[in-house]
Structures are given as C-alpha cells and as structure tokens.
Amino acid sequence: MIEWERIERWDYIVDSVATEYKRKFELDYEDIKQVLYQWFIEHPNKLDTWEAIGDKDAKNLIYRSLRNQALDYCQHWKAKSGGYETSDLFFYEADMVEALLPSVIRGEMNISQKLNLAGSGRQSAPSEGGNMMAMMIEIDAGYWKLPKDDRKLLFLRYAEALDFGDIAKEMELGSEDTTRMRHKRIIRKLINKIGGFKPYRDEDFDEVQSPSVNEDSAGSDQSISG
C-alpha cells in the first residue's frame, strides 16, 4: 500500500488532470480525483521506477498515465450514461481524419454511402454505425473549434493541397519540418475535440525495473510544467 505522503507530492498533477477532464466531460471534480488517486495504489512498482529516474521524467510519465486514467473513466461514464457499452465507443485515428479532411473543408459532405474506414477489426459507436457522413459532420464541428491559424494550415494542406514547404512560406512558419510538426499537433488537437484517442492499457510493472523512460514515454508529446 502506498502511503499518502508519496501520493501527496504529485497532487498538483492530480489537480491539473482532474480539472482538465472535469471541463472536457462536465463530470464531478472530486470523483475524477479519486479515480486518479487509485492509479497510485494500483501501480506501486511503476511509481517506484519512475521516481528513481528523477522528478522531471517521473512528472511527465505520471501526467501521461493519469490523463489516460481520467480519459478511461470519463469514457466509461459517457458510455454508461448514453446507454451503450464502452466497447462501442468510436475512436478516430489520424490517418482516418486526414483522409476525410479534404472533403470536409471543401464542403463536399453529400456522401451517403457507408464506409468502415477503421477496418474490420474496430467497431463504430452506435451513433456512427460506420457512416461516413456522421464522421464528416463530427470532424467539421471539431475543425471549427480550432484556432484560426490552425484552421488556415489545415485549409492550405487539404483544401488547396499545398505541400509543407509551401505552407511554411505562406504562413511564415520557418521550415518544412516545423510546419510538419505543427500539422501533427493540430491533427491531435482536432481528434481530442471529437472524442480523443483510445486509452492505452496501463498495467503495473511486475517488479521494480531498471530506470528507463523509453518504453513508457514512446508516442507521448504531453508534459506538464510546474
């Protein structure tokens, strides 16, 4: 059992994540906090390993896992309140969003046929039913929630089919690589506005492992300051 003093030192991250997901899902702040505290109880070996790495890396890794814990809890709540199973929740992937963005931004949304862009291995939520039109409407709604400059970059990329080098010049972003990375962040931001990514399965280590951040930090561009 992890003592409260060990959890308390990370309470500022718990507060940050609980506040973020309270706003996103309009759930009770204290309920989310209790779910996040549960993560520490269920992952003592992981916490031991991460704290051994050092506070800076431990902070980012804990923040990543707590956001996943909060997302998983909120999506379970969303499914339960909506009267369907969590397994029916639909998650967008970057390649799927990018495939639909040209038609969405150009306003070519008069598509009625059904298409399973996710492949046969994934299910759609009841509201989508694999319907391309429903997906396009959701992506369009998320697109208009983005900041103006983000929408401009996506417009240049998908409506005008410019490459990243030309977009960098048009928007004075410095370089092609910088523009490419910003595009990636915007796509992630858009996905988060239409439901977010699927939570990963976060299990505790079998025993305290040698300090390493490679495996658990892979694919994460989330961090917290403080």
**CB-CB contact of 10 with 52 (8 Å):** no
pLDDT band at 81; cut points 50, 70, 90: confident
Model confidence pLDDT, tens digit, residues 14-72: 999 999 989 888 889 999 999 999 999 999 999 999 999 999 999 999 999 999 899 88
Model confidence pLDDT, tens digit, residues 85-134: 655 556 678 888 999 999 999 988 765 443 445 443 444 443 444 467 87
Domain boundaries, the chain: 4-87, 90-193
- pLDDT of the residue at 89: 56
Stated pTM of the model: 0.54
CA distance 106 to 158: 8
pLDDT band at 135; cut points 50, 70, 90: confident
**94 to 64, 186, 191, 197, 206: CA distances (angstroms):** 19, 10, 8, 9, 33
- How many other CB atoms sit within 10 Å of the CB of residue 149? 12
**CB-CB contact of 99 with 131 (8 Å):** no
Q: Residue 8: pLDDT above 70?
A: yes
Amino acid at 205: F
Model confidence pLDDT, tens digit, residues 43-59: 999 999 999 999 999 99
**CB-CB contact of 61 with 214 (8 Å):** no
